[in-house]
Amino acid sequence: MMDALDDFRMTDAEFRILSDLLRSRCGLHFDEATRYLAEKRLARRIRETDLGSVASYLYLLRNGASAEEELSTLIDILTTNETSFFRERSQLDALVEEAIPELLARPARLSRPISIWSAGCSTGEEPYSIVVLGREAGLVPGKDFRVYASDISRPVLAKARRGIYREAAFRETDDRLRASYFAEKDGHFKISDRIKREVHFVHMNFFDSARVALLGTMDIIMCRNVLIYFDLESKKQVVKVFRDKLEPGGYLFLGHAESLISVTTDFELKHFLRDLVYRRPVPGEEREDPWHSLAHRGLSEAERIGDDQ
């Protein structure tokens, strides 16, 4: 029996065209190791559009009147966008219990809310989680902090703005928080308006320099589990955007599986009680040596164990 994918199998030339287009337009990286995944998901989209061939679809992406909209749809298909509320909770606790209070307490800080950018926010679980946990920690949204959220996919942003979720989005949510901040109807859960109004959503492509230039500077950037889709050169470009958009002394949160090793030396590691994050150094400030800090922690632990014995 013929695989349905065979009708839309890409030639090597077509795969190079698609890969180059995705890399140049939005930084997404697909190589031979991920080619089958790309072909499978692309075939599904070609069937939906009734274009009939890979060549016709690539022409639409490059020259069609709806090329920008179609690219956004394709990105949504090619990336998983699987997330949930309060994912990697230790990072979110470090954000609301340590990073924000520390920034608020800085003597040179202007009297304004701490600005937080949820970059690559998908369907909105992360920025809404930040507002909920901020309130739970005694912070006042709009006064103590303000949350901005962006994604390259317009369909995903539309879902985020609606703020309606299925049961699967709550696999890391305790019953009290769900009861306090969501209303259930017909098996779906709608985020409370008092949380929804505190998140400002915007369509954003990290590689659109004109669009990025419209952003103001941020105190904190959350970009978790997004860089995994980029090759090294694209990672460097995105991280440079983050460095330029972060206030000196500001924090960058990445996913636990992500690192800036071999990407940049423009950030230093910051040790919070709950997690490790990256910090943009303040010019003229002595930079902390993370290796020295880790070694010192190890020595202190060894000394404590020795005292216990």
Residue range 145-178, pLDDT digits in tens: 999 999 988 888 999 999 999 998 998 899 999 9
φ, ψ for residue 246, nearest 5 deg: -90, 135
- Helices 35-49 and 12-26, interaxial angle, to 10°? 90
Question: Boundaries of CATH 3.40.50.150 in the chain?
Answer: 89-290
Active site residues: 41, 151
What global pTM score does this model have? Answer: 0.79
Protein fold of 4-78: Chemotaxis Receptor Methyltransferase Cher; domain 1 (1.10.155)
Residue range 231-261, pLDDT digits in tens: 899 999 999 999 999 999 999 999 988 999 9
pLDDT of residue 235: 93
pLDDT of residue 237: 93
Q: How confident is the model at residue 81 (pLDDT cuts 50, 70, 90)?
A: low
Protein fold of 89-290: Rossmann fold (3.40.50)
Residue range 12-28, pLDDT digits in tens: 898 888 888 888 877 77
Q: Is the pLDDT of residue 284 over 80?
A: no
pLDDT of residue 142: 95
